Each structure stands twice: as structure tokens, then as C-alpha cells.
Amino acid sequence: MVKLALLGAGRIGQVHARAISMIADAQLKYVFDPIVEAANAIVDSHGAIAASMDEILGDPDVQAVLICTPSDQHADQIQRSVIAGKAVFCEKPISTDVDTTCETLKVVDENQGCLMLGFQRRFDSHFSALKAKLDDKTMGSLEQLLIISRDPAPPPYDYMKSSGGLFKDMMIHDFDMARWLLDEKVTSIYAVGEALVDGKTSSHGQDIDTASVLMTTETNKQVTILNSRRASVGYDQRVEAHCANGTLQVNSVRETNLVISNALGIAERPLENFFMTRYQDAYRNEIEHFVTAIKKSLTPMVSGKDGLEALVLAEAAGKSLREGRPITIGYS
Ligand SMILES: NC(=O)c1ccc[n+]([C@@H]2O[C@H](COP(=O)([O-])OP(=O)(O)OC[C@H]3O[C@@H](n4cnc5c(N)ncnc54)[C@H](O)[C@@H]3O)[C@@H](O)[C@H]2O)c1
């Protein structure tokens, strides 16, 4: 039985606590959240014990820590956890700046730590099927990739303040998807963005909520990413891969597959409302993968380096937006 502890009992913390409860050989032993009611909700529903971070890190029974706290807390918590000898699953991003991310990865390496990043779309059955089809080469070479990610509504301002902004908080998933599907380096990026959803109110003028990015790769493939923090249709998550021998598409997932046809027309059901339901299976799959990696001493499929490289693209997108020009991505 792999015993785990959860840091942060908010939206995604609750999703991961549920995922752990569905895995036969995993047990959530502790939860820590400074908001006692948040921790207690998980204590009550999953039989975990509320504890401090020091108590969690000091218990040799705990093999792994899941970090689901605000993004500006991840780096410090990763470092403390690997120094204490715990395997770490961390939500994206590792940090909102590249230097802190590199410093954190250095600490992970020095302690021979295990770090997996929470890019759950790699564990989604629909996107995995598209990836497998690209990899079997029957479609010929990929020429254009289109990734559309739109949230139903913006998150609360308190969340936004520590998120690092749209590119590092939201589009970072799409940067990882692009890297994963392309399997080659992105060499340039051009970004445009605006606060179109509700002027300057939801982000208090600190962030954009609507962005389009165009990237090119080392073999001149073209990648477009579209993000919005508003979609009246629901949680809009699509990918289209245009290849030499045809096109692959994954469409947004509906609440059910039911189609109602009558004299008024033909109606399909609404899209899944948000990430908690749309990616429910993917979250369970990624935590199962993490638990298996711990049990079998394997390296998890999504590494700290994947987190760093997605952040580098997010940072370059921000620079492109500020300077109004394409940015070349250098690799050392
Ligand atoms: N992979 C995904 O699809 C996905 C989805 C949502 C959020 N996230 C990421 O997960 C993280 C959390 O997001 P959220 O939406 O759950 O936020 P949230 O605000 O709902 O929850 C964060 C929780 O962490 C607690 N917290 C704050 N400081 C803490 C500390 N030092 N130690 C322990 N707990 C602490 C807060 O009290 C809160 O309950 C963010 O980094 C975000 O980028 C990822």
C-alpha cells in the first residue's frame, strides 16, 4: 500500500483525493491545508488525518506528497518534500519563474528525488488515441496543430493573483500538449492577448483572459493555440492535427452522448462543465501512474523537465505579448 499526503485541499486537491480513493493500492494518510474547513472536508470524506507539513514530512510511513497548493508555493514545497525523501506529484507550474524552477529541479536531482508534473491531458483517453495515431505514422507527417482550450468562466481573483497569469496558469497545459504531440522542439512563438471577457474587472487589470499563440518548430511545423477564460458552451477542449495523409480531431466532450431529434430539430447535450468532470478519468489515470512509478521505482512519464520546458514557452509568450514581436526559443 502506497501512503500519500495531500498539501492543499482546494478544487484540484479534492479531485486528487477522490482519485486516490479509486486506486486499490494507494491510501491518503494525511491532508494539510491552512483552511481547517477545507482540510476537514477531505478528512470527513476520505478518512485522512489533518496534519501540519512538518508532521507529514516527518512520518516515514508517507512515501509521497501531492502538492495542490497555489502556484507560488510549489517550489518551496517540492524542495522540502524531496529533501525529506518523499516522492512528489506537483500540480503545474513548478514555479511561476524559470530561475526558481531550475533551482528546484537542481534540488530534486541532488536528492535523487522523484518528481511528476500534473499535465493530466497526457492521460486522457481521447488525446492519447490521437497521439497513438500520430505515432503509428500512417497519417504521414504532422503539418499543422490546432489546440483550443476555453474555460466556462474565469477563476476567482484570489486564485489569479498567485497563478502567474494566463500563459503560465492555463496555456501551460496547451504548451505541454504541443510538446507531447509534436515530439520536437518549438523554435519560435508569437502571442497576442487581451482582457476581452469583462474588461479589467476579473483580473483587476493584471492579466489577459483571451490569447492566441502561433508557434513554429525545428522542422517548420505550425502550431496554433487559442485560449479564453469564457465559453458559454461549457468546457471547450479541442485538438486538430493536420497531417500529410489526413486530419485527426478530438472534439469537446459532452455530458452524455444523447441526441434528441424531433420536430424542433436535432439537439445534442451540453459540453462537460469544467475540468473536474471532463478530466476525471485522466486525473485518476495520472495518479495511478504516479503510484505505480513509486511501487516499481520507475521514472514517471511527466517529468520536472517537462514542467520547465512548458514554462519556458509560457514565459516566451509573455515576452512576445509585451514586445509585440515573435520570440526565438533558444535551447542550451
Ligand atoms: N491540472 C489541472 O487541471 C489543474 C486544475 C486546477 C488547478 N490546478 C493547479 O492546482 C493548484 C491549486 O489550484 P486550485 O484550483 O485547487 O486552487 P484553490 O484555491 O481551489 O485551492 C488551493 C488550496 O491550497 C490551500 N493552501 C494555500 N497555501 C497552502 C499551503 N502553504 N499548504 C497547504 N495548503 C495551502 C488553500 O487554502 C486552498 O484550499 C494551482 O497551482 C493550479 O495551477 C491544476
What's the pLDDT tens digit per position in 97-150?
Answer: 999 999 999 999 999 999 999 999 999 999 999 999 999 999 999 999 999 999
Fold of the CATH domain 2-113 = Rossmann fold (3.40.50)
* Mean pLDDT score across all residues of the chain: 95
Stretch (H or E) spanning 36? helix 36-46
AA identity, residue 219: T
Per-position b or e across 286-296, b if 16+ CB within 10 A of its CB: bbbbbbebbee
Using the predicted structure, report yes or no on whether residue 203 has a pLDDT greater than 70. no
Nearest to 258 by CA among 267, 250, 248: 267
Domain boundaries, the chain: 2-113, 122-281+310-328
Hey, which of 15, 33, 275, 283 would you mutate to test ligand 1's pocket, going by the most ligand atoms within 8 Å of its Cβ? 33
CA of 3 to the centre of ligand 1 (A): 21
159 — pLDDT class (breaks 50, 70, 90):
confident
Nearest to 217 by CA among 142, 307, 315: 142
What's the pLDDT tens digit per position in 323-332?
Answer: 999 999 987 7
Using the predicted structure, report yes or no on whether residue 204 has a pLDDT greater than 80. no
Residues within 6 Å of ligand 1 by CB = 7-13, 32-35, 38, 68-71, 73, 91-92, 118, 120, 159, 169, 275
Hey, which of 80, 91, 117, 235 would you mutate to test ligand 1's pocket, going by the most ligand atoms within 8 Å of its Cβ? 91
Please state, in angstroms and rounded to a whole number, the distance separating the CA atoms of residues 289 and 262: 44
- The alpha-helical segments, DSSP class H, found in 192-302 are 275-278, 280-296
Nearest to 313 by CA among 209, 207, 177: 177
C-alpha pair distances (Å), 105 with each of 17, 88, 102, 154:
26, 12, 5, 31
Give the list of residues 6+ apart from residue 110 with CB closer than 8 angstroms, or none. none
CATH number of 122-281+310-328: 3.30.360.10
